[in-house]
Structure formats: structure tokens, C-alpha cells
Copies of this chain bind each other. A is one copy, B any other.
Amino acid sequence: MTQDAILRIKNAIGGGKVLTDRKSLLEASIDNSRYSFLPDAVVKAESGDDISKALKIANEEKIFVCPRGAGSGCCGAALPVFKGIVLDLSAINFIEIDPTSWTAHVGAGAINSDIDKTAAKYGLMYPPDPSSKNYSTIGGNIACNAGGLRAAKYGVTRDYVAAITAYIADGSKMELSRPLRKFAVGMNLKDLFIGSEGSLGVIAEAHLKLIKRPPFKQTTLAAFLYDNAAFECVQKILQANIMPSVLEFMDAQSVAAAAKFKGKNMEKSAMLLIELDGEKEEVKSSQNSLEKILSTLSSGFETADDAEPLWELRRCCSSAMFLLNNSKLNQDIVLPIPKTVEFFDYFKDLGSESGLQTPTFGHAADGNYHIHFMYDGSDAKQKQKAFLAMQKAVEKTVELGGAISGEHGVGITKSKYMNLQISDAEFCVMKKIKNALDPNGILNPQLRYTSQVDISKYAQNKDIKLPWDKR
């Protein structure tokens, strides 16, 4: 990228919004995948007009552009692997609620939990709650179709996006759908953009659908002698027409690690953390049915109005697993619910055969599990074993009708698995659409539509701190 191009963008949108100092470049070089690639410049857009002008120049000069919110994505979809511009949208962060239409008009940089808190003032709720909700931006949530804990009952980001204002590679503005409950006019580009991980255009604003805030909830923590007993319980709950707002599974290895992490003495067990929400009578009625199922299948359960103590183990699962080994290889898979036991029998065998621990937790009501192989990062053979075992686990997932990504997207870390899930014919159509919208291929060139990054060539950067690391 030439200095001339940077100058052109500075002249077009104002020099103060175009940063090339070392600190800004470092901050924009990394996301939650922890790989780091320095860009040539960071453009801090303050309006759609800024986005349009920067894109137009970048497209003319054939400079790569990586749109970025908070950088909380887990798969590297925001990383400037091939340099160019990081287009930072975090400053476009307004939030306006329309309590009559049950909608929110938000800037791409608005923080997920801020939107929900603002909606709560009107008795309304924005349901999608990725674990990054306190710092991830809605633009990034939309670009990656973020999920969360409550998706089985309430759906994912896509289900709440009524309309998007976006800009394609040549700087043209797109008003995709409208903030209405129904819209059946022309091709549905809105949903094409949702989940496209910044490869088709840059999201500036969105209108979100809101729902009535459930007034009551009840939380239950249940223990099971075996992982499979917990999976059986999940099926029984769903077959009883109960749809919990939260149905978190923790396998016995995760529970043991979390208990140790918290200094608790516990019997070996898998666990389900179950939250029912809605009107009080409805919750009480479902809770009765739930407790009947738990009485038969669990080895014990406790219920509390104050949910926080029950969440203690679940919240530390991610940190606690490093008690099992110093490095993790993880995936975010989705399984058809009836295939859960078949998959995990296979997965746990992979762990035994490779001699690696396999802590697992996840959102059981939508079959979305975060699976891990723990290994010693200083032992090359162990690392190789982990990668081979994960390849087999992902292949099994697809064979059983599951998905290689439930809520993290593909980015650069999962692109090698894309061919397992997407046929050549489907991939050909995706490439044609990418080419139609971005003929110079300037947007997120690191993604699979344009090129394939072999992440095994790179090491994660553990020196650069992300803002949420301070917590």
C-alpha cells in the first residue's frame, strides 16, 4: 500500500481518522484468534460517508480492507493477513429504541449488551448473547451471525436483524430490507450479508427486532454419573416440549477441572445447567415437568432463584481446562441432537487413543458444543496427535449431519474444513457471488473465497493484550 493511497484517504475523510502509529497498528493486528498481522493503516470511520469514501479509494487503488468491530471474533475474520487497511467501525455506536415497533436502530459499533440494556428500559429484550456480549459490537455480531447460550429458544443474530445499511467494495450504499416485520421486495441481500464475515460489504447500521422481556426465570444445576446420562436427559427435556432458555452441558472432565480450579471437592460427574424463562406460571409448570425428568435421570440437582452460584463452575470452564494441559485445540461444532451420543462415544475414544484430555461444554439444546483436545505445547508429537484427532472429530461431525461451525464462523482458522461441508458446486456459486460484489477482491482477502491461509505456518501472539484480557 503506497503512502499516496493513505494520503488520498486522509484527504477524503480527514487525517485524524487515518492512523499509522505503531500502537494503533498493533491493536488492529489481532483478534480473539490471537494471530497477529500488522496492517498498513487503520481507518476509524465515524459515518457511512467515511466508509463509502475509504472503500471507493481502496477499490480504485486495489488495497485490501478488513472491517473490524471489537476484534472479538475467534476465527481471524478481521485479520489483515495480507496487510492493507483495517476499517474500524467501533465509533459508529448509536442506539435508538422504538418501543412501538419493538425495534432498535443501532450503529455497527454499538456493544451487544448495551443494546439489550437500552431495550430493557422499555421492557424489551435483544436476545442473542454471545459470551463476548459485554465487548463485542453488533456489526461484528451480524457479520459473523453470532450465536450464544439462548439460541435454541431465542435464535441467533440473523433472527433479529430487520434491516442493514451496508457499503459494497466500490463504496455504493445498500439499504438492505427495512425496519419492518415483513418485507418481500426483491432479492434478499440482507441475509446474504449476515454471516458473510465482512467479505461482501461493510455494515454501517442495522435495525434490530426486539421481543418482550421474559419477567421470570428459574435456574437448576443437575449432576449425572456419566456424560451420556446428561445427553439422554437433554433429549427427554426436548421431547417433553420444554425449551429451556439455557441448557448448558459440561462433561465430567470440564466439571472436574472447574471444581479443582475453584478448590471444591466434588464427585466425578457431568452437569447440565438449565434455565427456564417466561411468565411465572409457565416457568413453574415447565419446572415441574423438568424435575420429574431429573429425578429419574440425574444423580442430584439443586434449584435457586439466585442463579449466580449455580453458574460458578460453568463460567470458569474455559480457564480451568488449562489445569489439564497447557495448550488447547478447540472447535465449535453443531450436532443433530439424536446423534449426540454417537458422536461423543467416538470423540472420547479419540481422546483415549491419543492419550489427550477432551473437556467439552456447550449449548446442548441447539447441539452446539465446544470440543477440545488438551496437549503439551512443548511436545511436537502431542500437538500433531491433537491436530490429527481433531481432523477426525470434525469429519465425524459432518458425517453425522452436523456443522463445522455453529457460531464462530469460518475465518482463517476453519477454512481448511470448508470442503468437508460445502460441495464444489456450492463453493463455485459462493465465489461467483463474491466476485460479483467485490470484483477486485479487496474485502477480507484472507477468507476462503479468495485465498486460503495455512494457519499452521503462524504462531499465536500471546504478548498483545486484547481489551477484555484486562478483566
Contact surface of A with B, Cβ cutoff 8 Å: 98-102, 122-124, 144-145, 147, 151-152, 155-156, 158-159, 168, 172-176, 178-189, 191-192, 194-196, 199-200, 211-213, 235, 238-239, 241, 243, 278-282, 285, 334-338, 363, 365-368, 401-410, 414, 418, 421-423, 425-427, 429-430, 432-437, 448-449
A368 near B407: Cβ-Cβ < 8 Å: no
Copies, count: 2
B174 near A425: Cβ-Cβ < 8 Å: yes
**Residues of chain B with a CB closer than 8 A to A427's CB:** 186
**Bound Cα distance from A178 to B159, whole angstroms:** 16
CB distance from A356 to the nearest CB of B (A): 25
**Residues of chain B with a CB closer than 8 A to A285's CB:** 279
B187 near A434: Cβ-Cβ < 8 Å: yes
A421 near B185: Cβ-Cβ < 8 Å: yes
A100 near B430: Cβ-Cβ < 8 Å: no
**Residues of chain B with a CB closer than 8 A to A414's CB:** 185
A99 near B239: Cβ-Cβ < 8 Å: yes
Q: Apart from A173-B425, A182-B334, A186-B448, list 17 A-B contacts with CB within 8 A.
A: A102-B238, A151-B181, A151-B182, A158-B188, A173-B423, A175-B426, A181-B367, A182-B363, A182-B403, A185-B405, A185-B410, A187-B196, A187-B433, A187-B434, A188-B192, A191-B192, A211-B243
Residue of A243, A421, A425 most packed against chain B (CB within 10 A): A425
B281 near A184: Cβ-Cβ < 8 Å: no
With contacts A98-B338, A179-B401 taken as known, whether A422 is within 8 angstroms of B184 at the C-beta atoms is no
A182 near B159: Cβ-Cβ < 8 Å: no
B409 near A184: Cβ-Cβ < 8 Å: yes
Can you list 7 A-B contacts with CB-CB less than 8 angstroms, sorted by A residue number? A99-B239, A147-B184, A156-B181, A168-B429, A180-B335, A182-B407, A212-B241
A238 near B100: Cβ-Cβ < 8 Å: yes
A368 near B181: Cβ-Cβ < 8 Å: yes
**Bound Cα distance from A421 to B285, whole angstroms:** 47
With contacts A192-B192, A430-B186 taken as known, whether A367 is within 8 angstroms of B99 at the C-beta atoms is no
**Bound Cα distance from A48 to B12, whole angstroms:** 53
* Closest B residue to A430 using CB positions: B187
A182 near B433: Cβ-Cβ < 8 Å: no
